Amino acid sequence: MKIPFFNYPKLYLESKNDYLQILDSVCQNGAFIMQRELDNFEKELSTYLNANFAMGVGNATDGLEIALMSLNLKPGDEVICSAHTMVATASAIKMAGATPKIVDIGFDNLIDPDAIAEAINTKTVGIMPTQLNGRTCDMDKIMDIAEKNKIFVVEDAAQSLGSKFKEKNAGTFGIASAISFYPAKVLGCFGDGGALITNSEDIFHIAYQLHDHGRDTDGEIKSWGRNSRLDNIQAAVLSYNLKKYQNVIEKRRNIAEIYNRELKEIEELKLPVPPSKGGFHFDVFQNYELEAKNRDELQKYLKEKGIGTLVQWSGKAVHQWEKLGFDIVLPKVEEFFKNCLMIPIAPYLVEEEIYYIINSIKEFYKVV
Ligand SMILES: Cc1ncc(COP(=O)(O)O)c(C=O)c1O
């Protein structure tokens, strides 16, 4: 059996006729940039998230950078972020003119609130937690630290649309956030795409100008800006996919439940933290990332069985990329990256495939 880690063609072919119609309609109207489909999607997304503003951008990295630029960072300012994230989180801080201060992870492999508290000093202006793998951080603790220290929170919610902590959506806790629609995301488009989310009218207007050549919503140039807009075709595709989103989330959650149930006896594995242990979490399982003894051998074995897996971000935490100039040791995340492995989780996986993956892992560890 062949189970690739991603199967983009399969997702496309499931709804091919609808996608072709969407493409045809946008092209026939010649409506490519800042048109009705984008307006509609932005409204649907803000309604879905219960947020005041959702603004399409070229990708989530731009969204994060624009959110930070809206906050007027100065050289020397420090923004705290996790070592367990895509480099994009840290690079957005750097590109916005501040310094990323990377900290270790906690029991749930997300940014550790205690490590955040320890890292705060007179230069700290903000915290940028990553809502990773479709799970929201303990936002009570993080918001509390931010309020006490009078610093901002900008969430990297690239991987977590629909994920919740205490019924509140990832991406709506801080002053702003960004979500990614990169094709592999739970809500994906046909290329790069992202959205900046905020409840603040001030941030929305500054960010709006930054993402469209300094123009305000009336088209008047009010400041310097750049071009980072979400294409109309992508917005139309995303609107369509958003309608099916709850169903997609439920399918992912069901697969995760089967993995949790079937793999929990294997002593050599550490599974993602279940919602009941962290408390109050609603996870969307952007990824199912486990920690495995003899990880590399397991990955090789699964490959031989036709199962695609992924060691995320080339197996390195952000601070472990030498050229980025960090000189720190973060033991928990470094240990995590020695063992972490993502196994396939996608709405199109059928029971036979899910059990083939489970049984192959059991075979490897000689668990009957
Ligand atoms: C945690 C995290 N942050 C940021 C990004 C950047 O998103 P984009 O590719 O849309 O710029 C990603 C994307 O893959 C991500 O996983």
What are the DSSP calls for 187-199, one per residue? S--SS--EEEEES
**Nearest C-alpha neighbor of 328 from the set 318, 319, 336, 338:** 319
CA atoms within 13 A on the CB side of 195: 35
Measured in Å, residue 43 CA sits from the centre of ligand 1 at 22
User: How far is the centre of ligand 1, averaged over its atoms, from the C-alpha of 59 (Å)?
Assistant: 8
DSSP states of 312-360 as a string? GGGG--GGG-GGG------HHHHHHHHHEEEE---TT--HHHHHHHHHH
Helix axes 295-304, 351-364, angle to 10 degrees: 130
Tell which one of 93, 128, 180, 192 to mutate to probe ligand 1, the residue whose CB is within 8 A of the most ligand atoms: 180
- pLDDT confidence of residue 274: 79
Following DSSP, what letter does each residue of 23-69 receive, concatenated?
HHHHHHHT--SS-HHHHHHHHHHHHHHT-SEEEEES-HHHHHHHHHH
Of 329, 325, 332, 317, nearest to 99 by C-alpha is 325
Which letter does DSSP use for residue 213 in this model?
A: T
CA 194 to ligand 1: nearest atom: 10
Quote the Cα angle for 304-310-313, to 5°. 145
Q: Does any ligand 1 atom lie closer than 6 A to the CB of residue 194?
A: yes
Between the CA of 255 and the centroid of ligand 1 the distance, in Å, is 23
**What number of CA atoms fall less than 13 Å from residue 25's CA on the CB side?**
15
Name the packing angle between helices 201-211 and 60-69 (round to 10°).
120
CA distance 90 to 42: 26
Nearest C-alpha to atom 12 of ligand 1 is from which residue?
158
- C-alpha of 226 from chain center: 23
CA 284 from chain centre, in angstroms, equals 11
Letter for the amino acid at 104?
A: D
| Sheet of 152-156, strands arranged across | 53-57, 194-198, 176-180, 152-156, 124-128, 78-82, 99-103
CA 85 to chain CA centroid, Å, is 9
Domains and CATH numbers, the chain: 8-243 (3.40.640.10), 245-364 (3.90.1150.10)
Q: What is the pTM of this model?
A: 0.97
Question: If pLDDT is split at 50, 70 and 90, which confidence band does 277 have?
Answer: low
| 165 close to ligand 1 (CB < 6 Angstrom) | no
First to last CA, the chain: 20
**Confidence at 3, pLDDT banded by 50, 70, 90:** very high
pLDDT digits (tens, 9 = 90+) for 171-213: 999 999 999 999 999 999 999 999 999 999 999 999 999 999 9
For residue 165, pLDDT beyond 90: yes
What does pLDDT average to over the chain? 97
Cα–Cα distance for residue pair 319/90, rounded to 1 Å: 9
Residue 87 pLDDT grade (very low, low, confident, very high; cuts 50, 70, 90): very high
Query: Distance between CA 356 and CA 368 in Å, rounded?
Result: 14
pLDDT of 276 higher than 90? no
Position in ligand 1 atom list of the atom nearest CA 156: 3
